[in-house]
Amino acid sequence: MYASHETYDAIIIGARVAGAATAMLLAKGGARVLLVDSAARIGDTLSTHALMRPAVALLERWGLAEKLVEAGTAVVTNTTFHYDRERISIPLKPVGSLPGLISPRRWLLDPMLVDAAVAAGAEVRLSTRFEGVTTGADGQVSGVVLCDPNGHAYSARCRLLVGADGRVSRVAGAVKAPVLKATPRGAATIYGYFADIPNEGYRWMFSPSLQTGLIPTNDGLHCVFASCPPADFRVRFGDDAGSGLVAAIAATDPDVAEQLASAGAAQRLIRFGGAPGHIRAGAGAGWALVGDAGYFKDPATAHGISDALLDAHRLSGAVLSGAGLRAYVRQRNAHGFEFLQLTTKIGALDWSLETLKLHHQRLSAIINAESAELSDPAELRVAA
């Protein structure tokens, strides 16, 4: 193994929403940043794409929301909750110059963030795997061991190591980040893309033991998903997954189910078997975790990307302002535990519809608080 003599202010492992956004913000603030990913290219990944207001507000602030719309991302101006046959429709307020929210495909959003990181001055190394950490005499993380595309290991030094390497984070393992809260495996999900569905905004549909939804995304397509308890998955989607998905939508909206059936089979249906949730410690001596690496929850509340971008904003703000890693962790945890708890309850799919409405009201209050955090002048100073 050879040692690189360069020292970075930050080495960030994982170049998707959490890592690329953190790299962009730290580099914009003048930090010397290395952004690393084991993938050869940053393309598509598991996601149903829905962004909540804080994420869109951040993308708008970073000058990326408009570019995403120019690249063909649908704008949604309405969100409808279907509680069985009852519908509650809520018009969405504009976000800056954008008339509503957006749900960009990950092959568009993630590389755009990587490009923005490069434009801000970050160095990017793909096909490069994080293998472990190096530590100083004081036990503080002092650098990383990386493996290049030819399989050669080398070390590089940094003042801050950022783990943005997803749910099964190797960085979290290497720094022994304690798990502060763990939740059981949530729902299993299937989704695919359908053309020729009118854009009526986000549609979130709930019926006993079932959550489904429609999310307008890129190229005139809707991402259509269904989630159910893992034990029901094979019965519902095992033999003919396409018909299973249409039948699941029909449970709350037979008209939309008909549109899906006549739109024809989605090109490919994607499956996610569900996974346990966690909140790990957000930072320690010389390291921090952002995105799923620090905080993963069931996709039931579609908030993972929003949290990843909020983490990037909070961590970079805390580092660049000198407020420190504790300030980052405090901000991340302010709503994180309650959000995880609510998501776990919703993802368990064993609520009554009345209880579910209360959960949604509380989630909405938290999302409003997150949006308010972004427009608070004191926060703006910290996270400038």
Ligand X SMILES: Cc1cc2nc3c(=O)[nH]c(=O)nc-3n(C[C@H](O)[C@H](O)[C@H](O)COP(=O)(O)OP(=O)(O)OC[C@H]3O[C@@H](n4cnc5c(N)ncnc54)[C@H](O)[C@@H]3O)c2cc1C
Alpha-carbon distance 182 to 93, whole Å?
A: 34
Among positions 8, 10, 38, 75, the unique one binding ligand X when judged by CB under 6 A: 38
Among positions 9, 32, 39, 77, the unique one binding ligand X when judged by CB under 6 A: 39
* Residue among 313, 306, 308, 303 at smallest CA distance from 292: 308
* Residue among 55, 74, 329 at smallest CA distance from 221: 74
Contacts of ligand X in 43-72 (CB under 6 A):
45-50
Of 15-23, 114-122, 335-343, 369-377, which segment contacts ligand X by CB under 6 A? 15-23
Min dist CB 167 to ligand X, Å, is 6
Residue type, 182: A
166 counts as binding ligand X under rule CB under 6 A: yes
Strand order in the sheet with 78-83: 86-91, 78-83, 202-207, 210-216, 222-228, 188-194, 270-272
Name, in order, each residue with C-beta under 8 angstroms of 222's C-beta and a sequence gap of 6 or more: 193, 194, 195, 197, 199, 214, 215, 216
37 counts as binding ligand X under rule CB under 6 A: yes
Contacts of ligand X in 247-276 (CB under 6 A):
272
What the block records as the tokens of 277 is 């949730």
16 counts as binding ligand X under rule CB under 6 A: yes
13 counts as binding ligand X under rule CB under 6 A: yes
336 counts as binding ligand X under rule CB under 6 A: no
373 counts as binding ligand X under rule CB under 6 A: no
Residue with Cβ nearer ligand X (234 or 381): 234
Query: DSSP class of residue 73?
Result: B
Min dist CB 320 to ligand X, Å, is 20
* Residue among 14, 57, 61 at smallest CA distance from 306: 57
Among positions 105, 170, 203, 314, the unique one binding ligand X when judged by CB under 6 A: 170
What is the pattern of x (binds ligand X, CB under 6 A) and - over residues 92-131?
-------------------------------------xx-
Count other C-beta atoms under 10 Å from residue 299's C-beta: 24
Residue type, 168: V
Alpha-carbon distance 381 to 234, whole Å?
A: 51
329 counts as binding ligand X under rule CB under 6 A: no
308 counts as binding ligand X under rule CB under 6 A: yes
Of 25-33, 255-263, 291-299, 353-361, which segment contacts ligand X by CB under 6 A? 291-299
Min dist CB 377 to ligand X, Å, is 27
Residue with Cβ nearer ligand X (254 or 328): 328
164 counts as binding ligand X under rule CB under 6 A: yes
370 counts as binding ligand X under rule CB under 6 A: no
How many residues of this chain bind ligand X (CB under 6 A)? 35
Name, in order, each residue with C-beta under 8 angstroms of 365's C-beta and a sequence gap of 6 or more: none
Residue type, 16: R
299 counts as binding ligand X under rule CB under 6 A: yes
312 counts as binding ligand X under rule CB under 6 A: no
What the block records as the tokens of 104 is 């960009």
Of 7-15, 233-241, 250-258, 340-348, which segment contacts ligand X by CB under 6 A? 7-15
Side-chain half-sphere CA neighbours of 108 within 13 A: 20
Alpha-carbon distance 310 to 304, whole Å?
A: 10
Per-position DSSP letters for 95-125, written without gaps between them: BTTBSSEE---HHHHHHHHHHHHHHTT-EEE
* Residue among 109, 169, 128, 106 at smallest CA distance from 36: 128
Among positions 303, 313, 314, 360, the unique one binding ligand X when judged by CB under 6 A: 303
309 counts as binding ligand X under rule CB under 6 A: no
Contacts with ligand X, residue ranges (CB under 6 A): 13-19, 36-39, 45-50, 129-130, 164-166, 170, 189, 272, 291-293, 299, 302-306, 308
